């Protein structure tokens, strides 16, 4: 006979999910409502307003997709891309590569602009690709590459897209809530995020927002959207940009309670304060690692405060270190991926995980484990360095 599952209490400092506030977990355990209950329908309006706040947008088509971030990504592409279209895709990590796969499956042509993993997207290359492909309809890129910790200049890239009459699709999975994501000011056309990064909700939901121009583009499609579930023409009916709500699918009610509470917490703190908190703790974490003698992999101007990519010291088995951190310290950090596998750790400071207690636990645990693994690191200095940086 199966038993109830009681997970251990980890400290989540990987690339997401991040630590979830007890307030969010408690909200998820509130009584389930029917998805057509008038009280729930009113709740949906409040949730939409909070998402508009988080995205800094007045886009009416702003809603949480009932699936993880990869469904948010696919929703943006399959609605805006038609067979035969050309899409310029910036690939500087795992998620740009996924965009390409989705575009190809949509029957469109993907023009790939490649940059090194761990570096920002280079606007000069993008401009060249847009010049070389005047037929391009869309530019797509990842604002904050979860796989590498690199931050690209979203405002500049979207500006290039519009200068070349392209729509811009932006992956803000890891950026939203951690660094500025100004959807209206920077004129994104479609943007998606995830619930489990800097919003610190549980995984499984993907906030999205479409500009009025994107909505027009979707309405003028010549071919039907290939996915019934992801067809925003249908989802719009449920999320109420039309006058009357019509049933599309059964929303994940309790997960939405959690997202709502996470956004209430973000609004209470304020976006600017949340961005400043991520920066402040990033500097403390960095100081701790640098005191140990470990450097960060991404050039300073392109670093994400919420995802710190740290070089693995020579001769150290990175997987073994991660295993010990998890087992002995209940601390989860992420491995490097692709070209960075075995060479870096990815250390998240996202949302509710971004606090001094976690910074100190992390640098302390790394210091102890690395020393016992025989790595050439300075010991007894990391916590003090982090505290000094934190105090400013």
CB of 74 to its own copies, least distance (A): 5
Residue-wise DSSP of 316-363:
--HHHHHHHHHHHH-EE-EEP-GGGTTTEEEEE--GGG-SHHHHHHHH
Position 9 contacts its own copies (CB under 8 A): yes
Position 283 contacts its own copies (CB under 8 A): no
Distance, in Å, from the CA atom of 136 to the CA atom of 134, rounded to the nearest integer, reads: 5
CB of 210 to its own copies, least distance (A): 18
Nearer to its own copies, 29 or 163 (CB): 29
Options 54, 57, 74, 144; binder of its own copies; rule CB under 8 A: 74
What residues pair up with 65 in beta bridges, in sequence order?
206
Position 373 contacts its own copies (CB under 8 A): no
CB of 370 to its own copies, least distance (A): 21
Q: One symbol per residue from 32 to 71: x for binding its own copies (CB under 8 A), - otherwise; what is it?
A: xxxxxxxxx--x--x--xx---------------xxxxxx
Position 280 contacts its own copies (CB under 8 A): no
Query: Measuring CA to CA, which residue among 9, 30, 70 is closest to residue 259?
Result: 30
Query: How far lies 138's CA from each of 130, 213, 387, in Å?
Result: 10, 12, 45
Question: Which residues in 285-324 contact its own copies (CB under 8 A)?
Answer: none
Nearer to its own copies, 95 or 186 (CB): 95
Nearer to its own copies, 33 or 381 (CB): 33
CA dihedral 266, 270, 273, 279 (to 10 degrees): 40
Report how many residues bind its own copies under the rule CB under 8 A: 81
Nearer to its own copies, 99 or 377 (CB): 99
Judge contact between 164 and 181, C-beta under 8 A. no
Position 251 contacts its own copies (CB under 8 A): yes
Question: Which residues in 327-346 contact its own copies (CB under 8 A)?
Answer: 332
Position 368 contacts its own copies (CB under 8 A): no
Residues 179-215 as b/e (b if ≥16 CB within 10 A, e otherwise) read bebebeebebbbbbbbbbbbbbbbbbbbbbbbbeebb
Position 93 contacts its own copies (CB under 8 A): no
CB of 24 to its own copies, least distance (A): 9
Angle (nearest 5°) at CA 275 between 380 and 351? 70
| Cα end-to-end span (Å), the chain | 55
Position 125 contacts its own copies (CB under 8 A): no
Options 48, 98, 303, 311; binder of its own copies; rule CB under 8 A: 98
Residue-wise DSSP of 258-293:
HHHHHHHHHHHH-HHHHHHHHHHHHHHHHHHHHHHT
Position 227 contacts its own copies (CB under 8 A): yes
Count Cα neighbours of 305 within 13 Å in the Cβ-side half-sphere.
21
Position 92 contacts its own copies (CB under 8 A): no
Nearer to its own copies, 28 or 120 (CB): 28
Question: Which residues in 174-203 contact its own copies (CB under 8 A)?
Answer: 194, 196, 202-203
Options 128, 246, 250, 379; binder of its own copies; rule CB under 8 A: 250
């Amino acid at each position: 006979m199966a038993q109830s599952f009681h997970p251990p209490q980890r400290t989540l400092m990987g690339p997401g999910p991040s630590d979830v506030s007890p307030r969010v977990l408690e909200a998820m355990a509130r009584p389930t409502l029917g998805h057509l209950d008038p009280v729930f329908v009113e709740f949906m309006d409040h949730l939409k307003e909070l998402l508009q706040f988080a995205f800094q947008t007045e886009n009416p088509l702003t809603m949480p997709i009932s699936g993880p971030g990869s469904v948010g990504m696919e929703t943006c592409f399959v609605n805006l891309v038609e067979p035969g279209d050309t899409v310029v895709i910036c690939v500087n990590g795992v998620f740009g590569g996924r965009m390409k796969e989705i575009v190809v499956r949509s029957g469109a042509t993907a023009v790939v602009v490649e940059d090194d993993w761990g570096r920002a997207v280079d606007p000069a290359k993008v401009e060249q690709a847009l010049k070389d492909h005047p037929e391009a309809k869309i530019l797509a890129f990842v604002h904050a590459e979860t796989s590498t910790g690199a931050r690209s200049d979203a405002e500049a890239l979207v500006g290039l897209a519009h200068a070349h009459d392209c729509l811009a699709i932006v992956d803000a999975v890891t950026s939203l809530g951690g660094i500025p994501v100004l959807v209206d000011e920077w004129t994104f056309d479609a943007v998606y995020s995830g619930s489990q990064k800097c919003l610190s909700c549980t995984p499984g939901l993907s906030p999205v927002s479409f500009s009025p121009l994107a909505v027009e583009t979707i309405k003028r499609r010549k071919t039907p959207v290939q996915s019934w579930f992801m067809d925003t023409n249908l989802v719009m009916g449920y999320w109420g940009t039309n006058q009357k709500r019509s049933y599309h699918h059964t929303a994940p009610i309790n997960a939405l309670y959690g997202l709502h509470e996470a956004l209430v917490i973000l609004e209470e703190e304020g976006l600017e304060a949340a961005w400043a908190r991520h920066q402040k703790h990033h500097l403390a974490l960095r100081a701790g690692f640098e005191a140990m003698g470990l450097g960060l992999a991404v050039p300073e101007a392109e670093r994400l405060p919420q995802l710190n990519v740290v070089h693995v010291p020579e001769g150290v088995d990175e997987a073994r270190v991660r295993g010990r951190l998890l087992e002995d310290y209940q601390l989860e950090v992420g491995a490097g991926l692709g070209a960075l596998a075995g060479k870096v750790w990815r250390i998240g400071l996202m949302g509710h995980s971004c606090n001094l207690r976690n910074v100190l636990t992390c640098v302390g645990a790394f210091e102890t484990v690395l020393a016992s693994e025989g790595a050439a690191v300075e010991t007894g200095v990391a916590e003090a360095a982090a505290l000094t940086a934190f105090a400013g």
